[in-house]
């Protein structure tokens, strides 16, 4: 047991200030990922900042016609929200595919954004991992890497982002709202929120020390058919081997607008706008997949992900058609 202090701030600004003042502090809400990591001593925070009583648990309409989702909105509540089900169907589907009902009742929107990888070697403290110990090496390269990345990886890390919600948020062009220790707020496009590993895989997001997520904003709904398809190793709740979040509008039997985001392929949700343009121009899933998979590289056990991503996109387009 690693000792830690426990704080329950009364405001967002106080929470951010405590986090900035105490190195190694962590925010805790549902704890569905953090507590597991603490039990394994992968995460050893000196301070836990309980944010559950902060007023960040509402879903509200925006003046622009979108939705503002509080950081503490539970996944089950968000998936069941009438506007999400009706107008942001790809998000509702992704949330329902993401975990069991019990976990969805605890997991939060901000916590889902901050999920850490499920790489086997990240969880095995006997093996080198640059995420846990920068500079120690990446055991997945040359190791068993079936669930690892085939896009956007580096020689420092080939882990993947495990979240289903993040993939749908990327397809919807969500923005992340934050507050820092000085009380200043900012918005971060979801495309820029998650980082590729590069030489610093331990830095996973664009958040600054002490910065706290307050909400996620969804723009005005995108017309079209919404589909989230998740391919996984078992039928019940498991992390995606490959997933596709798609919003496609048809006209005369052909796509006239498309949004495509992929999960299970990279360190962040993977979206290539050129692939969407190719789909609209040609109507071909393979033409779009060619753009998505440019530069894709397998590491042995995960080579199958490259053709699987192509087949999954074909299946999504067939379902929509």
- Is 248 inside any structural domain? yes
Model confidence over 289-301: pLDDT tens digits? 999 999 999 999 9
What pLDDT does residue 248 have?
97
Tell me if 153 is assigned to some domain. no
Tokens coding 111: 């916590």
Closest CA to 190 of 259, 276, 286: 259
Let me know if residue 215 belongs to a domain: no
The whole-number pLDDT of residue 79 equals 98
Q: What is the pLDDT of residue 99?
A: 87
For residue 16, give its domain range. 5-52
Domain boundary among the residues 36, 52, 68 is at 52
Whether residue 303 lies inside any domain: the answer is yes
CATH of residue 234: 3.30.390.50
Tokens for 156, please give them: 């420092």
The per-residue pLDDT for 252 is: 81
Give residue 253's pLDDT.
79
Quick check: 177 and 214 in contact, CB under 8 A?
yes
Based on its alpha-carbon atoms, the radius of gyration of the chain, rounded to whole angstroms, reads: 19
Q: How many domains does the chain have?
A: 2
End of a domain among 14, 37, 52?
Answer: 52
In this prediction, the residues of the chain whose per-residue pLDDT falls under 50 are none
CA distances from 277 to 248, 256, 287, 289, 306 (A): 12, 9, 10, 11, 20
| DSSP state, residue 270 | B
Alpha-carbon torsion (133, 135, 138, 142), positive or negative: negative
Distances (CA, A) of 262 to 89, 142, 161, 310: 16, 24, 11, 11
- Determine, yes or no, domain membership for 162: no
Domain assignment of residue 214, yes or no: no
Q: Could you tell me the CATH number of the domain that includes residue 19?
A: 3.30.43.10
Whether residue 268 lies inside any domain: the answer is yes
Q: What is the pTM of this model?
A: 0.96
With beta carbons less than 8 A apart as the criterion, state whether 200 and 134 touch: yes
Question: Are 183 and 165 contacting, i.e. CB atoms less than 8 angstroms apart?
Answer: no
Q: Is residue 219 part of a domain?
A: no
């Amino acid at each position: 047991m690693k000792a830690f202090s426990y704080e329950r701030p009364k405001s967002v600004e106080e929470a951010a200030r405590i986090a900035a003042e105490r190195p190694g502090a962590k925010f805790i809400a549902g704890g569905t990922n953090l507590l597991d990591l603490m039990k394994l001593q992968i995460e050893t925070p000196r301070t836990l900042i309980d944010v559950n009583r902060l007023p960040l648990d509402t879903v509200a309409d925006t003046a622009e016609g979108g939705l503002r989702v509080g950081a503490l909105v539970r996944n089950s509540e968000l998936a069941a929200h009438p506007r999400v089900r009706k107008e942001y169907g790809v998000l509702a589907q992704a949330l329902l595919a993401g975990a069991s009902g019990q976990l969805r009742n605890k997991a939060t929107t901000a916590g889902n954004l901050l999920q850490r990888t499920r790489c086997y070697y990240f969880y095995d403290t006997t093996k080198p991992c640059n995420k846990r110990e920068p500079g120690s090496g990446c055991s997945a390269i040359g190791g068993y890497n079936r669930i690892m990345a085939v896009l956007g990886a580096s020689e420092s890390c080939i882990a993947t982002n495990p979240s289903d919600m993040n993939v749908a948020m990327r397809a919807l062009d969500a923005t992340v709202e934050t507050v820092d220790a000085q009380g200043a707020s900012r918005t971060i496009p979801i495309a820029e929120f998650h980082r590729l590993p590069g030489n610093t895989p331990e830095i996973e997001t664009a958040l600054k020390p002490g910065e706290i997520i307050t909400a996620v904003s969804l723009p005005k709904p995108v017309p079209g058919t919404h589909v989230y398809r998740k391919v996984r190793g078992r039928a019940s709740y498991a992390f995606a081997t490959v997933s596709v979040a798609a919003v496609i509008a048809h006209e005369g039997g052909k796509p006239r607008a498309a949004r495509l985001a992929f999960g299970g392929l990279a360190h962040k949700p993977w979206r290539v706008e050129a692939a969407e343009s190719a789909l609209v121009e040609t109507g071909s899933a393979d033409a779009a997949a060619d753009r998505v998979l440019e530069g894709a590289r397998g590491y042995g056990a995960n080579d199958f992900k490259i053709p699987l991503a192509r087949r999954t996109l074909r299946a999504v387009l067939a379902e929509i058609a």
